[in-house]
Structure formats: structure tokens, C-alpha cells
Structure 1
Amino acid sequence: MTRIRREVLTLPAAELGPDNPLPPLRPLDEVHRIDDRDRADMPRDMARGLGYAPLRSLLPVRLRDGYDRTRAPRALDALVIENDRLRATVLPGLGGRIASLLHLPTGRELLYRNPVFQPADFALNGAWYSGGIEWNIGATGHTTLSCAPLHAARVPAPGGGEMLRLWEWERLRDLPFQVDLWLPEGSDFLYVGVRVRNPHEHPVPTYWWSNIAVPEEVRVLAPAEAAWQFGYEQRLRRVPVPSYDGIDRTYPLNSPYAADYFYDVPDGRRRWIAALDAAGRGLVQTSTDVLRGRKLFVWGSGPGGRRWQQWLTEPGTGGYCEIQAGLARTQLEHVRLDPESEVSWLEAYGPLDTSPAGEWPGAVRQAEERLEAVLPRARVEAAYARWRPHADTEPGEILATGSGWGALEVLRAGWKLPGTPFPESTLGQDQEPWRQLLRTGSLPAPRGPEPAGATPVAPHWRDLLETAPATWHAEYHLGIAQWHAGDRAQAVRSWERALPLAPARWPLLRALAVADEDDGHHARAADRYADAFTDLCGAERPEDTDRVAQRTALGREALEALLRVGRTAEARAVWERLPSAVRQRGRFRLLEAELLLAEGRRAEARAVFDAGFEIADLREGSRVLDRAWARLTDEPLPARYDFRMRPDSA
């Protein structure tokens, strides 16, 4: 039966660094949007899901962009789940990811196990890392919990033994969720029970995809004859499976560019997806029918895809693709979770041995028959039925602790959430001002001259802020909540009321600058950014980690705003006031090249590229490098800067 133990996993790992201290007021930088022309040819339910409450903002979550690319051996806390057949290694401090799934009798690693921990800008809020099995909840894209701690505890498992429970409060949609992992005695399959709850009195858009990284030298099989293909040119189209344009796309390396293939599994068919190597060995994932979608993501064989593979791991360690399973047909959709309801399902992960070669219908049929032999569909349904009563079982020994945001919401609403406790003991410094607001009706003043902490933006918190005494601090946070709600004019009024009262003006000037940009007033935004940066640099405070993070984040936005309106002298003044260590970061080396180019110093801008730099937080799908290079020269883009995920013509 399942045994759970602690372990320390030591990897070459980069530091996560501090979160971005500026509230993310700008529109969400999300590449997974489609051309409206494609909607006409979609099934009605898909079109509805695509239009249902897409995420517009990251609030109340902060950006995580303080990481670097300097890796050193670091110890990561791990929890190991094991029976005599499988060993799963879970990282509770990094989103509860299953970093490894080892089949003990054969010694085969069933997943792509990344030999390093290297954050990159793929999560909705920045920091994400590749490899293993990740649990994506929230909205289209990788979860904001990718590199965040989850709560973890031992729970009795169905049939005896132990179960590992992971749970947290997802803040983008304000929903609690849990993931229960266990290994029945003698089982070659890891069982995963998932539940997402909506305790609110209103419906909530919901999103879930389980993403499984596997080596890319495989063929991916799924019970479908067609797929919805989505590429970084932002077109969604229905294509035949396995081949279109004369290429069998079920072999990941056959595709030249990165793309998603959402398999159109017919109603009534068993839900499963498998990745098998040339010898017929690999991993299969299956589930109860609620987890409807199945997907293949490929990086492609082109230079951009190869560069991303190197970027996310160690060169020479082999590439990977992802097989995935989700609540909707595609990741571009959200589904409605009714008031005071929940959705749950069971997944199973394990080895599959069957040849993937040959004609598609025969290969799929053979794989499905083999899956039915080793893990009958009825057994998965029965395991789900046995697990459901255990989902409410209260945790035993606490093995890891997540955030205090769930405790704050439970304290506010008095919810009872059996199986996923959020005790007041988990409240921390970030939640303390809001706990005081609940108790006293007033938001306590920060210790320093600047606003403290992130802002809860849900309607109930906005209501509390509107009735609290109108201090500059309360007005600042109220403006953020109003901005998130779409009441932009009222947000500006709140910030303007706070500005003359605030001991530090720069946070409010920056917020007003973002509002100016949103209204198209770029010159006024540049004025305010310049004033904000001057105010920040003029304050007498030690250059501690928080201070450097503030100057880094505000300096970047100020430089971009000033360059946008051609005010190069002021941009140069901001550049000169940045700490020297910040100016050496890759993101700022690119800004230096753009500043030099704006000043007419083309040769010096080219020299920045020739010297070489790496942008640690280069965004998924970003074209900043190849476009900056194209402004400098007609020469081919050097391989080290080639992260293109779509054809140049797209």
C-alpha cells in the first residue's frame, strides 16, 4: 500500500528571487487568444466556452519575475509516494508538481524528469518550470501556483494505506481545490482524485488541465480522428489526425513549429492519451469522463523550438513534449461552476507497453485494448466511487504549508470546507492588514512610507475598502480593486485623492501612469513615470532587496514609457540611476540596446547584441529579440536569440 516519506531533492537550481513589487495593472500578457474569424466554424459549446469570462487581469496575484539563470546545487523539499511498483516524487513547495514517476520493476522513468530547476516566463504570472506532471487551475495558461507552496498532509487512502493530499486557494477565480494521490497495493497506476469547489453564491468560470511532460521521441496516441490545432499565429482550426499537410503530427518532432493539438474525442469513448517510444514503451493517462479534453503540445523541430528546449533545461539532455487532460475540449475555454457546487474526477497514470507503429486506427485500437487489459475502465470508475467519501476526510499529519489566503477567505465568510482546512494559524504578514480590516473596519497604516502588500480585489473586499476610513493607504488599495472591477475612472479618482496625502508619491504616480497608458495618453504617462522614478530614487532608504526590486520594476516601466514617446534624454537619465547590477541583467541589456538605437548609436546597440546577453524572464511567444535585431540589421538572427515559435510570415 501507499507509503509516504519526506526526501530532499538536490538539483542545479536558479533562485526564484523576489516577486515584482508593482501591482499588475496592465492587461494580461497572454498569447493564447484566437482570431475571431475562426469562431464561425466551431461547435456552439466550444464558442461559448471561448467567450466565457476570459481572464483580463492578474490581480490580485503578483508577477514573479525576480529569478535568474545562475544555477547552483540547492535542496528542494520533496514528498515521495511509493508502493512496490511505482515511486512518485512530489514537490509541495513548487506547485505540488510530480517531478518523477518511476516504474520500479523495470527502472523506467515514465515522465520527462528535468535535471535542473530553471524558472522561465510561461506561467500566467511569470515563473514556471518544465518537466513532470503539473496541476493547472485558474485560467487559460500555466497556473500562478507553478512555483508556489501548497498545503500537504497525510490522509487515509481508499482500501487502506496513506494518501497524499495537496490543496490551496486559487486566487484568480477565488476557488479552493485539492489533489489526492495514492497507490493501491500492487498497482502499476498512480491514482489522482481532484476536486474543485465553488463556495460562493454566484457561478464561477473554472479551468483545469493536468500537464504531463514526456520525452519527445515518441508517438502520441489518443482516441480521435480529428483535432483542434492552435499555433502561436493565434489561429484555431480543425485538422485530421494523425496527418495533415502530408505530415504525421502525432510524432512531435515532425512539426516544424510549436503548436497545440486538442484531440476531438467522441462522446462515449474512453478518455485517455499515451506517449510511446519506438520500442512500444511509455506512459498512459486516463480518467473518468468529466476530464473531457486531451491535448498534445509540441515544441517543433525548428530552431526556435530547439532553443526553448535548451533554455528550460540543460543542453544535451533531450527534449520533451506534453500530453495533457482538461475539463474542456480546448485550453482556450472556461467552464461554468454553479454556485455552492463542486466538480471532481479521478485520473490514473502508469506504464503502457504496446506498439505505436502502423496505421492510426489500428495503433489506437491496440493501445486501447492493452489499456483495458491492464486498467479496465470499470476499475477507474470504481476507484473514483471509493475515493469520493474520502475526499472529505480531514487531513492527518501536516507535511507542508501553503499560503494564508485561503484562511483569510474562510475567516471572512465562515465557510466549512471538509477535507481542506484553512486554519487561522496559516495567516501571515501578507494577510494581517486584511484581517484587521475585517475585525475593525479600518485598514491599518503600513509601517513604512509606501503601501504594504498585495490587494485582495474581490467584490467583498472592495466593499470593505469603500466603507473604511479614507486614508491614503486605503484609497490606494481601493483604486486597485476598482481598476480590477473595470471602474477605471473611479480608480483614478481614488489614486488622485491619495496622492497629496501619501508620504511616498511614486506608487500612486505609477498607478496613474498605467491609467494614462490605458487611455492612450502616452506623453502624460511618460511624465508621471519620470516623476515616479525620481521620487523613488530620492527617498532616503537603504538599498536592500526590496528597494532594488522596486527600482528594477519601476525603472523598466519608466524606460519603456519614455522610449515609446521618443524622450531619449530622460530615458538615459533613468538608465544612469539604475543600480549597476540591474543594468547588467539581460532584460536591461536589451533596453540599453533599444536606448542606444533611439539615440542614433546603431554600432553601440549592435555591440550589445554581439557581446551577448540572456533575458531570464523572456515571455513565451515574445518577439522582442528578433524584432530588435531586425531594426539593427538585415543579417540572420543569431541562434542564441532565436526563440521564434511561429513562422516569420505569421
Structure 2
Amino acid sequence: MATTVRRAVLTLPAAPLGSDNPLPALRAPDEVHALDERAREGMPRDMARQIGYEPLRSLLPVRIRDGYGRERAEREFESIVIENDHLRVTVLPGLGGRVHSLVHLPSGRELLYRNPVFQPANFALNGAWFSGGIEWNTGATGHTTLSCAPVHAALVPAPDGGVMVRLWEWERLRDLPFQVDLWLPEDSEFLYAGVRVRNPHERPAPVYWWSNTAVPEDSGTRVLAPADEAWHFGYERALRRIPVPEWEGVDRTYPLRGEYPADYFYEVQGGARPWIAALDAAGHGLVQTSTARLGGRKLFVWGAGDGGRRWQEWLTEPGTGGYAEIQAGLARTQLEHVRLEGGAEFSWLEAYGPLSADPARVHGADWAAARGAAEGALDDVLPRERVDAAYEAWRGHADTEPGERLAQGSGWGALELLCGRFELPGTPFAQDTLGEEQEPWLQLWRTGVLPAPRRVVPPGPSLVAAHWRDMLETAPADPLTEYHLGVAQWHAGDVAQAVRSWERGLALAPSRWPLLRCLAVADALAGDAERAADGFTAAFDDLAAESRGGGPWAAAESALGQEAMAALLAAGRLPQARAVWDRLRPALREQGRFRLLAARLLAAEGHVRAARRVFEDGFELPDLREGEETLAEVWSTLTDCPLPARYDFRMRPATS
């Protein structure tokens, strides 16, 4: 049959996303993929340079998404289904354009790990993320801030005369637009993805891209790639070069043979065809390949240890099979960012499809023969020349204007196009996508004045790029403008000016808590724990008196209450920490983060048995961060007993 594209509805048990955190993300992201400085010694020069190139100072202007929970109910998700005789592809435009499912129709096999639930967890740069499928990670090291956000989608003519689905959005961490064109030729067993990242600015920009594919794993799963060495990252803030497939007596190409979660960034030799495959015991599975631009390849494993298994269970539901990730990126490792000159672009083509190879060779002891069997099978079903030709054909359609709209993303791209007067053929950011969050900034651009909100609410999102900072500096200096100006100056690294702006705004502000909180963060990062504790307490008291309850107010109370209690505990000011606890709404006290803070407070007050009872009664941290060891650390202060399995999310060996 001819390739068809249709809208559909996907129903899944789903946890709610909740409200975004309205407090600006002033702190640098707590990224687990960070290196100690000494770890760069001995690296290839280009790799070391790109690891040090333009790391994020903050997540601004993006907001943290931490309002989700773990109670699930049936929910409908808008989806796009692309289908021919060989493949059925299900795409979720409301969730970052994730490819949720890739079914090989002749065999009925699902080629991806398809999560049976939607359960956000704290893995994206800005919080909410979910496992499964193929995701398009751009922006900076980590899972994209668009993991649980809508992107634009529309139909575009495909190179073969059919139709393809274009996904596009404005990535706000780096202020760069991108597109992904999903194209399934009529007679193809492979889904093509044409990808483009553009830099419309005059200045160079750091670019990050890793296409991340979750694949089913069991004891017979082996991951193969054209490499004899890899860079191993084991959540100990170090990279080491290791042999492939065996290291320390274990064949690391089998995801379940190691104990701890780990990344293996393959050293793909220059000129080699880039590909990666996950094949089961019978030699069947998924292969991903691309044109040369996307040259990096990676395997991520959860391992067979207790912590990794707990994470797998946490991200789905009991009884669901586990997964590994096979990834493809612009650089050797995910710790690197690649320079893209002003006015230039990166583009490439990827292909995803079924692969079958001789299982005796795939799982044999001869690594060269194993990967040769997989690569030979790939060459038989999809020669490299065909991928290169498909890329050239797609490039002729990359600028084609979209036709029928299938989904709408954010209005931030439309705002930036208006302000920057950029020409971006193929990815229109229409003015009708501008919404409530963009409205005050649109007024600032048009009139030079940032309007006051019509009702008392927590401040809306800040914009921090240089052109917005310039507009804020020349706008009338009312308290709200000073607040946003301080956030933009902070993002630019001008801490002193940011503090001055917040202090000026404080003098006349009818709502003081947003400014007080920013100043408290500045004091905390400057090392003044006492002054920071005072600031967070004053901010929380002001918020508690002003809050109208519900929605953004409850999100602000939760976030600021956590910061205030943590700062007071760090300063040893227990009566004041108890006073903050007493002012919390009862519903907030039941949140996991506050249950943990309650245990810490009880222990500090000398009530160790009561603190341990908090753990024994049971609680969950819906926003437990990847690599976070807080639960184990607090438990160890309460008892010498082993950490209960429900709290064991450790991703690395215990340090002595």
C-alpha cells in the first residue's frame, strides 16, 4: 500500500504533569554528565576543547517542570501515525515529537521499547522526562527541555512524491530552531529522519544533538557498533578509554552483564559507516544508521544491579521488561558541544529499521566477526549509498513550506522571529501561535514598556537573551522590570548588576517575595549561608501571606518552602525551619520532598526514631534526580541497617 499519514489518539495510564515551577532557575544545572578537571588530561584535543565549550550557566529562560506526581489515570494523547506495508510509526507531537512506537508489520515485532505508561521523572535538563521510543535531544548535555512539551507538526511533500511529517520548534537554551522530517517511502523497511539545526544569528552558537532510541533488553540482547574502543562514563565524573567488547572481564556489549548504569561512547573510526544495532538472541532487532555528519554512537545501560533495576521499575510499572538506549550524536560524547557559525546549519539523515543477522556470528566470541555480520546485513538491506542519496533528495525538500498543520508548538519561536526578523524557510513560526506567556514581551518589543499583570500572580517567565536584556535596561524601571532585568543580568554572568537590579526593585515592590528569593539565591551561591537563610525565610513568609492558593501559587509555595527549609537546616537554625514547616499547607506536607525534609528536621532536633519512622511509613520523591543519592545519604544518618530496596536508586558503587 502507499504510505499514509493520519491523526490518531493514543490512550495510556498517565501521571499529570502539573504546574511548572514559577521560580527562575538561577542555579547551574546539576548535570550528572560532568567531569572533574583532571579527567580531561590525555583526551584527544578536539574532544577536550568541545567538552569545555560553552557549558550552561543556568537553564534560563526555561522553567523547571517539577509539578508531576505518580498517581496515574487513563489519558488521551494526540498522535500521528505514518504507515506503509512494512512499518507503522506512531509520533507524539505533544511530547517533544517522540516516536512512541515503530512496528515491523510483516513480523508484528515492536522494534522499540514502548513504555506502556506515561510517567514523568526527573531526567530532562528541566525536570519532566519519560522513557521509551526515539527522542530528539538538542540544546545541551542531557535530555532536552522539550521532552514533555509540544512541538509544531505539519505535512510536507516527500522526495518520492508522497508525504512526510515535519516536526519543528525553537530550542530556547541556545536560541536555535530545528526540524525533524519523518519520511517513510512507499516500499521501504526504513523510517528516514531528515534533521536540521540552524543558527540564524550573526554569532556562533554551541550545538548539541543526540537521537536517543530505547530498545528492549533481555539476557540475550547484544549491542553492536563499528568500534574497537569506547569512552566509558560511570557516573563518577570521569571518562576512561576502554576496549570493546570486553573490559574488566565482562563483555559490556550485553547490557545486563554489568552491575551499574553506564555510558559507552564508541570510538567510531573516521570514514567508517556510522551505525548501531541492538539484536536479540535470535539475531533480530533494530538498527540505526545515518549520513556521516551524525558520527557519534553510544550505548547506555542500567545494568543488573539493584539501583538500575529500581530505576527501570520507577520509570514504568512492575512486570514491564527493561530497556537499554542506543544513541547517535554530533560529537564523540554527550559531554561535548559543537560550534556552529552564524548563519550556518548542520543537517543529516538518519534511518531506523529492522535488522536480522546470523545469531551464531552476532553472539560469537570474535568481535570483528560479530559486528561484521551486523554491518553486512545492514549493507544488504540498506546500502550506505542509498542513505546518502536519500539525504541529497531530502535536502531539496527541507525548505518546502509545510501544508496541513497537525499540531501546534509554543509561541516562543514566533516572538523571536518578530524580534530578530529572521528568514527560516520551511519552519514557519506563525504569529497566531503567540500566547499569554509571550504577550508582555511582545508589548515590550512594540512599546518599550513591560506591562504590569492584570491580577496578582507569580511573575511570568523571564527572557534573558542579549536583545531582551537591552530592552529591559531601557524600559521604565518599575519593580517587575527590575526583577526580569536582574534575571537577564544574572544569566549573562553579571551578578553584581543583577543584585543591584533586584535591590532597586525591592524598594517599591508590592510583591516582595520574588525579589527576596533571587537575592537569597545570590547569597547562597556567594557562600553566605546565614544571610541566605534569612532571605529565603523572608521570601517564604511574604509568599505565604500573599498566596491565593492553587496552580502557580501552590507550585511557588512548594518550591520556595523547600528552599527555605533546606537553607535553614544547612545553617543549623532548627526553630525557624520548624516554623516554616508549621506554615506549610497540609497538602504540601504530604509531598515527598517535604516528607524527606521532615525526616531531616526530626533527626536534627534529636528525634532519630521519629525520623526513621518517616522512611518506614513510606514516601516517594516523584522528582528524584538522575544520579541523586539523597535518600541513601539521609538513611545512613539514621541507622546502620541496609537501605530498603524501595529507596535504592544508587547509580554507582559506594565511595569509601
Assess same fold via TM > 0.5. Answer: yes
TM-score (norm 2): 0.98
Matched, 1:620 2:626: yes
**Structure 1 match to 2:565:** 559
Deviations 1:358-406 (A, max 9, x none): 1110011111111000000000000000000100000001100000000
Distance (whole Å) between structure 2 residues aligned to residue 2 and residue 58 of structure 1: 40
Distance (whole Å) between structure 1 residues aligned to residue 200 and residue 225 of structure 2: 35
Matched, 1:407 2:407: no
3-state SS, counterpart of residue 308 of structure 1: helix
Output the amino acid matched with 1:598: A
Are the equivalent residues in 2 in contact too, given 1:405–1:431 (CA < 8 A)? yes
Matched, 1:498 2:505: yes
Output the amino acid matched with 2:31: E
Distance (whole Å) between structure 2 residues aligned to residue 542 and residue 341 of structure 1: 48
Output the amino acid matched with 2:148: C
The Cα of 1:450 is off from its aligned counterpart by 5.0
Matched, 1:633 2:639: yes
Are the equivalent residues in 2 in contact too, given 1:158–1:386 (CA < 8 A)? yes
Matched, 1:291 2:297: no
Are the equivalent residues in 2 in contact too, given 1:449–1:502 (CA < 8 A)? no
**Structure 1 match to 2:274:** 271
**Structure 1 match to 2:307:** 304
Distance (whole Å) between structure 2 residues aligned to residue 548 and residue 459 of structure 1: 32
Deviations 1:234-263 (A, max 9, x none): 110000000010100000001110000000
3-state SS, counterpart of residue 511 of structure 2: coil
Distance (whole Å) between structure 2 residues aligned to residue 614 and residue 121 of structure 1: 13
Matched, 1:82 2:88: no
Output the amino acid matched with 1:315: P
Distance (whole Å) between structure 2 residues aligned to residue 107 and residue 574 of structure 1: 56
The one of 333, 340, 361 equivalent to 2:368 is: 361
Matched, 1:462 2:439: no
3-state SS, counterpart of residue 93 of structure 1: helix
The Cα of 1:445 is off from its aligned counterpart by 1.0
Aligned ranges for residues 127-206 of structure 1 at < 5 Å?
127-206=128-207
The one of 536, 553, 558 equivalent to 1:547 is: 553
Deviations 1:433-455 (A, max 9, x none): 11001111111112234553111
Moved more, 475-484 or 352-361: 352-361
Distance (whole Å) between structure 2 residues aligned to residue 251 and residue 328 of structure 1: 24
Deviations 1:157-213 (A, max 9, x none): 111111000000000000000000011111000000000000000000000000000
**Structure 2 match to 1:649:** 655
Are the equivalent residues in 1 in contact too, given 2:22–2:458 (CA < 8 A)? no
**Structure 1 match to 2:543:** 536
3-state SS, counterpart of residue 293 of structure 2: coil
**Structure 2 match to 1:589:** 595
3-state SS, counterpart of residue 41 of structure 1: coil
The one of 256, 261, 267 equivalent to 2:259 is: 256
Q: Evaluate the alpha carbon distance shift between residue 20 and residue 451 of structure 1 in structure 2; reply closer, same or farther with a 3 A threshold.
A: closer
3-state SS, counterpart of residue 223 of structure 2: strand
The Cα of 1:39 is off from its aligned counterpart by 1.3
Distance (whole Å) between structure 1 residues aligned to residue 549 and residue 223 of structure 2: 52
3-state SS, counterpart of residue 391 of structure 1: coil
Deviations 1:102-139 (A, max 9, x none): 00011000000000000000000000000000000000
Are the equivalent residues in 1 in contact too, given 2:458–2:552 (CA < 8 A)? no
Matched, 1:47 2:54: no
Distance (whole Å) between structure 1 residues aligned to residue 214 and residue 596 of structure 2: 31
Are the equivalent residues in 1 in contact too, given 2:20–2:552 (CA < 8 A)? no
**Structure 1 match to 2:226:** 223
Aligned ranges for residues 321-400 of structure 1 at < 5 Å?
321-354=324-357, 355=359, 356-358=362-364, 359-400=366-407
Are the equivalent residues in 1 in contact too, given 2:21–2:552 (CA < 8 A)? no
Moved more, 447-456 or 322-331: 447-456
Distance (whole Å) between structure 2 residues aligned to residue 449 and residue 29 of structure 1: 32
Are the equivalent residues in 1 in contact too, given 2:479–2:506 (CA < 8 A)? yes
**Structure 1 match to 2:528:** 521
The Cα of 1:544 is off from its aligned counterpart by 2.2
Deviations 1:523-581 (A, max 9, x none): 01111111111111112x53222221111111111111111101111111111111111
**Structure 2 match to 1:105:** 106
Matched, 1:318 2:321: yes
Output the amino acid matched with 1:347: E
Are the equivalent residues in 1 in contact too, given 2:22–2:459 (CA < 8 A)? no
The Cα of 1:585 is off from its aligned counterpart by 1.2
Distance (whole Å) between structure 2 residues aligned to residue 25 and residue 55 of structure 1: 11
Distance (whole Å) between structure 2 residues aligned to residue 452 and residue 498 of structure 1: 13
Deviations 1:313-348 (A, max 9, x none): 111111100000000000000000001010100000
3-state SS, counterpart of residue 38 of structure 2: helix
**Structure 2 match to 1:480:** 487
Are the equivalent residues in 2 in contact too, given 1:450–1:504 (CA < 8 A)? no
Are the equivalent residues in 1 in contact too, given 2:612–2:638 (CA < 8 A)? yes
Moved more, 368-377 or 446-455: 446-455
Distance (whole Å) between structure 1 residues aligned to residue 385 and residue 189 of structure 2: 16
Distance (whole Å) between structure 2 residues aligned to residue 234 and residue 173 of structure 1: 24
Distance (whole Å) between structure 2 residues aligned to residue 344 and residue 438 of structure 1: 32
3-state SS, counterpart of residue 94 of structure 2: coil
Distance (whole Å) between structure 2 residues aligned to residue 284 and residue 103 of structure 1: 12
Distance (whole Å) between structure 2 residues aligned to residue 460 and residue 486 of structure 1: 15
Deviations 1:575-633 (A, max 9, x none): 11111111111111111100111111101000000001110000000010000000001
**Structure 1 match to 2:243:** 240
Moved more, 541-550 or 293-302: 541-550
Distance (whole Å) between structure 2 residues aligned to residue 507 and residue 589 of structure 1: 25
Distance (whole Å) between structure 1 residues aligned to residue 210 and residue 4 of structure 2: 27
Cα RMSD of the aligned pairs, angstroms, is 0.8
Distance (whole Å) between structure 1 residues aligned to residue 160 and residue 393 of structure 2: 8
Distance (whole Å) between structure 2 residues aligned to residue 400 and residue 43 of structure 1: 43
Unaligned runs of 5+ in 2: none
Output the amino acid matched with 1:567: R
Output the amino acid matched with 2:642: P
Distance (whole Å) between structure 1 residues aligned to residue 99 and residue 457 of structure 2: 39
The one of 448, 459, 464 equivalent to 1:441 is: 448
Output the amino acid matched with 1:389: G
The one of 431, 435, 438 equivalent to 1:428 is: 435
Distance (whole Å) between structure 1 residues aligned to residue 147 and residue 407 of structure 2: 16
Output the amino acid matched with 1:179: V
Distance (whole Å) between structure 1 residues aligned to residue 271 and residue 592 of structure 2: 51
Are the equivalent residues in 2 in contact too, given 1:450–1:507 (CA < 8 A)? no
Distance (whole Å) between structure 1 residues aligned to residue 380 and residue 556 of structure 2: 58
Moved more, 260-269 or 528-537: 528-537
The one of 547, 571, 577 equivalent to 2:577 is: 571
**Structure 1 match to 2:17:** 16
The Cα of 1:413 is off from its aligned counterpart by 1.1
Matched, 1:603 2:586: no
Deviations 1:626-645 (A, max 9, x none): 00000001111110000000
Distance (whole Å) between structure 2 residues aligned to residue 294 and residue 27 of structure 1: 27
Matched, 1:95 2:102: no
The Cα of 1:55 is off from its aligned counterpart by 1.3
